[in-house]
């Protein structure tokens, strides 16, 4: 992070986490489940994105296997008619606000390498020989913000990590480290100001859960009349509703997040033990909430959230309450990514790898939930944001740099045509980075290496 001034923007309404979730619950009930929205229109768009959020996760995805089995990440179909890959189903409720990609390559240099992929990821340049897109936008279109650049990590500096373990490049070959401590990041952003806890509205929460119960019962009744394809889509929708219900039930009124009275939810982790893997989910949630709150208050236009680091030693089997949880077995992200040549679900590493990838997607969906729950203009923050989901390799076992697992979310103020699948035909990912820059109002004509222009069909 850079800069030192407080925000001069007007205070946002006081809004508790529970209120956000209840608002999202109402929206979730209305989501279509039979067809994904195509290019969802947004009101009062000015054609320029107000902010960029990069969400990085480590060690790739279950892409095309070494034995040629199809990817379990990438979508099938084309245009506005597509099916989400298995690992992407956590984004089903946001599919109309996303763009999914096939055929995006980071080029052959250092293919098969985690460090090589991390160097190219946001720079678009082999060997990290260039400025990263987040840094370019921070010093250009984001230069008027109190904090030009917000770089938050969750165990991203584990074991003294430096160099290619980090993905933000202020200049060619030079990385900086993210802030892994949410409390320190909060103090720097808001000068230590905090808010009392909101006791919440238990009656309202009960009413919301009752509405969810009724909706799920009605949809379950409908299930028997659908064919197999639509039943699968309905099941995805029911899963999304159950997640909303669970989050409302377990959220007991965290701190209020207004701009005049900001707050940081420190429940679930000890700042003195930032590298305890059992605390990772709470740490990542805190950093995600902090990034959204800082952007809502106009403190920054560019944020990078780095979850762990490539070749990650994060023991994801310590995440209590998830299907990965197994306190008697240490399953690390990088360990699971080497699942073998086949998508063999009986193989423990592969089964755990799939669960891990789904968990990362759910965390990105939670970021989108938070953006979608905050009104902005005639829409929401998500309508005016570009959010990028990314990792440093494609398939975690082969470490390929082709068919990269990129997802763009948010309409970017009308700059992005959402609700579609784009096949870039093997084109370089520098085209995607250029497209993001254009969406943010940067007038550059090229970015990174081998850039051929914005990705056709992505920008409005």
- Asked, for residue 430, whether it belongs to a domain, the answer is yes
How much is the average pLDDT of 120-134?
Answer: 98
For residue range 357-369, list pLDDT tens digits in order: 999 999 999 999 9
- Asked, for residue 49, whether it belongs to a domain, the answer is yes
Residue the block writes with tokens 């992505």: 458
How much is the average pLDDT of 315-343?
Answer: 97
- Asked, for residue 12, whether it belongs to a domain, the answer is no
Distance CA 265, CA 276 (A): 18
E-only strand ranges, 234-384: 302-307, 375-376, 379-380
For residue range 90-112, list pLDDT tens digits in order: 999 999 999 999 999 999 999 99
Residue 189 has pLDDT above 70, yes or no: yes
Residue 20 has pLDDT above 50, yes or no: no
- Asked, for residue 8, whether it belongs to a domain, the answer is no
Q: Are 116 and 163 in contact (CB under 8 A)?
A: no
Residue the block writes with tokens 């409720």: 93
Residue 227 has pLDDT above 90, yes or no: no
Q: Domain tally for the chain?
A: 1
Residue 22 has pLDDT above 50, yes or no: no
- Asked, for residue 9, whether it belongs to a domain, the answer is no
Residue 192 has pLDDT above 70, yes or no: no
How much is the average pLDDT of 287-304?
Answer: 97
- Give the torsion sign (CA, 209, 409, 181, 396): positive
- Asked, for residue 271, whether it belongs to a domain, the answer is yes
Q: Are 82 and 75 in contact (CB under 8 A)?
A: yes
Number of helices (H), then strands (E), in the chain? 10, 11
Residue 352's domain spans which residues? 17-439
Which two tokens mark 172? 């060619």
Distance CA 290, CA 282 (A): 12
Strand 407-409 and strand 385-390: the pairing is antiparallel
Strand 81-83 and strand 76-78: the pairing is antiparallel
| Burial class for 75, CB neighbours closer than 10 Å (0-12, 13-18, 19+) | buried
| Portion of the chain with pLDDT greater than 90, in percent | 73
Region of poorest pLDDT, from 70-84, 218-232, 332-346, 405-419: 218-232
- Asked, for residue 450, whether it belongs to a domain, the answer is no
- The distance of Cα 192 from the centroid of its chain, to the nearest Å, equals 27
What integer best gives the mean pLDDT of the chain? 85
For residue range 149-166, list pLDDT tens digits in order: 999 999 999 999 999 999
CATH at 204: 3.40.720
- Asked, for residue 257, whether it belongs to a domain, the answer is yes
Residue 1 has pLDDT above 50, yes or no: no
Residue 211 has pLDDT above 70, yes or no: no
For residue range 229-286, list pLDDT tens digits in order: 666 666 665 665 555 555 444 444 444 467 888 999 888 889 899 999 999 999 999 9
Q: How many residues does the chain have?
A: 460
3-class SS at 155? coil
- The distance of Cα 112 from the centroid of its chain, to the nearest Å, equals 24
């Amino acid at each position: 992070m850079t800069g030192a001034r407080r925000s001069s923007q007007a205070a946002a309404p006081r809004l508790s986490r529970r209120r956000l979730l209840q608002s999202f619950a109402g929206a979730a009930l209305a989501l279509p489940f039979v067809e994904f929205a195509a290019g969802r229109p947004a009101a009062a768009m000015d054609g320029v994105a107000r902010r960029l959020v990069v969400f990085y996760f480590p060690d790739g995805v279950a892409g095309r296997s070494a034995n040629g089995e199809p990817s379990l990440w990438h979508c099938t179909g084309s245009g506005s008619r597509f099916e989400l890959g298995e690992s992407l189903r956590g984004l089903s409720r946001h599919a109309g606000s996303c763009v999914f990609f096939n055929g995006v390559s980071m080029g052959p240099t250092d293919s098969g390498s985690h460090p090589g992929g991390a160097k190219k990821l946001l720079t678009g340049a082999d060997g990290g020989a260039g400025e990263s897109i987040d840094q370019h936008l921070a010093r250009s279109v984001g230069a008027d913000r109190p904090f030009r650049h917000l770089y938050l990590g969750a165990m991203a500096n584990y074991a003294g990590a430096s160099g290619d373990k980090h993905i933000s490049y202020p200049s060619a070959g030079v990385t900086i480290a993210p802030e892994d401590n949410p409390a320190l990041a909060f103090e720097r952003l808001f000068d230590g100001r905090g808010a009392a806890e909101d006791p919440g509205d238990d009656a309202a929460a009960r009413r919301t859960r009752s509405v969810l119960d009724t909706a799920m019962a009605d949809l379950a009744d409908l299930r028997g009349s659908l064919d197999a394809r639509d039943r699968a889509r309905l099941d995805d929708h029911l899963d999304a509703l159950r997640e909303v219900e669970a989050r409302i039930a377990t959220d007991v009124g965290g701190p209020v997040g207004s701009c005049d009275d900001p707050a940081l939810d420190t429940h679930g982790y000890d700042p003195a033990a930032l590298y305890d893997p059992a605390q990772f989910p709470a740490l990542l949630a805190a950093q995600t909430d902090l990034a959204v709150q800082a952007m809502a208050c106009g403190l920054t236009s560019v944020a990078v959230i780095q979850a762990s680091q490539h070749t990650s030693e994060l023991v994801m089997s310590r995440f209590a309450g998830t299907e990965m949880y197994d306190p008697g077995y240490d399953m690390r992200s990088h360990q699971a990514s080497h699942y073998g040549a086949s998508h063999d679900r009986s193989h423990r590493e592969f089964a755990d790898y799939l669960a891990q990838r789904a968990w990362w997607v759910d965390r990105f969906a939670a970021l989108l939930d938070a953006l979608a729950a905050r009104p902005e203009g005639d829409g929401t923050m998500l309508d005016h944001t570009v959010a990028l989901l990314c990792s440093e390799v494609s398939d975690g076992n082969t470490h390929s740099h082709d068919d990269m697992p990129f997802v763009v979310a948010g309409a970017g103020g009308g700059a992005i045509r959402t609700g579609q699948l784009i096949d870039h035909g093997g084109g370089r990912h520098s085209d995607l980075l250029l497209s993001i820059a254009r969406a943010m109002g940067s007038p550059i004509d090229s970015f990174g290496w081998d850039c051929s222009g914005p990705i056709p069909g992505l920008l409005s």
